[in-house]
């Protein structure tokens, strides 16, 4: 029987996200569920004033208390949502992002990463950002994942893994047009994605001998080359190289038979070749509580598996389930990593 992980003395750092989106209210809702769901202490890097106004406007009426340091979280968390102040430049109107607040959104991420890397917080949990608004403010990165890699000084790309419904999917390519996927798939990309995923499954998920299934790109795994040669020329050689390294990797496997219950029992994660190949089955199995986890970073980062939901902002109708799952996942992964060698 696996021994329980020790509790972490450090709180989780939750970023502001897009202030005009649902991030603030789902954070308020998550705090209200702290006892029922066993949510570990977390603090939010945001404006206490705007959160108090949001709590009153939405009828959530969550007590908000400003803290001076993450170390204050433990003493505050039982009675109020701890908030590390991050000033906003412009007033926030729910559902209407303002690029003037882009610097504050980015600063919230910067501070969360810095606090975790300094050993003052256990993990980074990011609320969704509105990339179009950040681009207008001068943001020069494709998204959260790439920016976090930049902050970490990484030379290799991190890997996006989604977890939910008993399924984990790692993505070889992410937010690219489907027509561009075949040209982006190379043995090097697959080797990096697989190695990073297997390392994370060992270190952060506590799986001593992870089993990784690799999905084919084409229907029926290319039908022996009749429907594409990517399986023969790219995927199969990469799988063979990984197996030669001693990794328990199988594939390429036809994607249409890879996600039913019996198939899922045979692996710990699937390496998918493109975004929807992995996200459609995962969101079908678990639409509400999927979690986005970034692998390969020198710190733990999780995020809800949804966007800013501007149409729901300010209504208190958004579900906090994915954020709650992201907080619980971040805590579990951080405690596991603390127990594992680098």
The answer on whether 292 is annotated among ligand-binding residues is yes
pTM as predicted: 0.93
Dihedral through CA 335, CA 248, CA 160, CA 204, nearest 10? 0
The answer on whether 175 is annotated among ligand-binding residues is yes
Give the CATH number of domain 1-156+297-342. 3.40.718.10
* Gap between the Cα atoms of 255 and 221, Å rounded: 8
* Gap between the Cα atoms of 133 and 142, Å rounded: 12
* Gap between the Cα atoms of 210 and 267, Å rounded: 8
Q: What is the pLDDT along the chain (342 residues), one digit of tens a residue?
A: 455 555 568 999 999 999 999 999 999 999 999 999 999 999 999 999 999 999 999 999 899 999 999 999 999 999 999 999 999 999 999 999 999 999 999 999 999 999 999 999 999 999 999 988 888 888 888 888 889 999 999 888 899 999 999 999 999 998 889 999 999 999 999 999 999 999 999 999 999 999 999 999 999 998 899 999 999 999 999 999 999 999 999 999 999 999 999 999 999 999 999 999 999 999 999 988 899 999 999 999 999 989 999 999 999 999 999 999 999 999 999 999 998 755
CATH superfamily of this structure's domain 166-285: Isopropylmalate Dehydrogenase (3.40.718.10)
The answer on whether 144 is annotated among ligand-binding residues is yes
The answer on whether 85 is annotated among ligand-binding residues is no
Half-sphere exposure of 7 (CA within 13 A, CB side): 7
List the chain domain ranges: 1-156+297-342, 166-285
DSSP string computed for 83-130: EEE---SS--BTTB--GGGHHHHHHHHHHHHHHHHTTSSS-EE-----
Structure tokens at 288: 């509400």
* Gap between the Cα atoms of 126 and 323, Å rounded: 9
Q: DSSP state, 6?
A: P
Rg (CA), the chain: 20
- Adjacent-strand bridge partners of 302: 125, 293
Residue in the structure block whose two tokens are 């561009």: 180
Is 1-156+297-342's fold the same as 166-285's? yes
The answer on whether 275 is annotated among ligand-binding residues is yes
The answer on whether 218 is annotated among ligand-binding residues is no
Which whole-number Å values give the CA distances from 279 to 3, 117, 197, 250, 271, in the listed order?
Answer: 32, 30, 17, 20, 12
- Provide the residue count of the chain: 342
CB neighbours of residue 63 within 10 Å: 12
């Amino acid at each position: 029987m696996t021994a329980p992980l020790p509790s972490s003395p450090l709180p989780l750092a939750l970023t502001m996200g897009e202030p005009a989106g649902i991030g603030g209210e789902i954070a308020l809702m998550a705090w209200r569920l702290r006892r029922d769901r066993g949510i570990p202490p977390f603090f939010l890097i945001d404006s206490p004033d705007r959160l108090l106004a949001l709590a009153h406007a939405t009828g959530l009426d969550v007590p908000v208390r400003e803290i001076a340091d993450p170390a204050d979280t433990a003493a505050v968390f039982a009675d109020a949502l701890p908030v590390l102040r991050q000033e906003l430049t412009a007033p926030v109107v729910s559902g209407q992002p303002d690029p003037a607040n882009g610097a504050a959104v980015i600063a919230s991420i910067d501070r969360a990463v810095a606090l975790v890397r300094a050993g003052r917080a256990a993990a980074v949990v990011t609320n969704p950002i509105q990339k179009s608004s950040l681009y207008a403010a001068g943001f020069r990165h494709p998204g959260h994942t790439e920016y976090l890699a930049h902050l970490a000084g990484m030379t290799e790309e991190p890997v996006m893994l989604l977890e939910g419904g008993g399924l984990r999917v790692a993505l070889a390519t992410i937010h690219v047009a489907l027509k561009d996927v075949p040209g982006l798939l190379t043995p090097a990309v697959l080797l990096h994605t697989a190695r990073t995923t297997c390392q994370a499954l060992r270190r952060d998920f506590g799986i001593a001998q992870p089993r990784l299934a690799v999905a084919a790109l084409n229907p029926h795994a290319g039908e022996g080359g009749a429907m594409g040669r990517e399986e023969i020329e790219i995927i199969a050689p990469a799988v063979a190289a990984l197996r030669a390294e001693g990794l328990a990797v199988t594939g390429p496997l036809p994607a249409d038979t890879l996600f039913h219950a019996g198939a899922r029992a045979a692996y710990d994660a699937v390496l998918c070749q493109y975004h929807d190949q992995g996200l459609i089955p995962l969101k079908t199995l678990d639409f509400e509580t999927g979690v986005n986890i970034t692998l390969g970073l020198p710190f733990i980062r999780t995020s809800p598996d949804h966007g800013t939901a501007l149409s729901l902002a300010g209504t208190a109708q958004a579900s906090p389930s994915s954020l709650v799952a992201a907080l619980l996942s971040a805590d579990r992964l951080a405690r596991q990593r603390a127990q594992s060698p680098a």
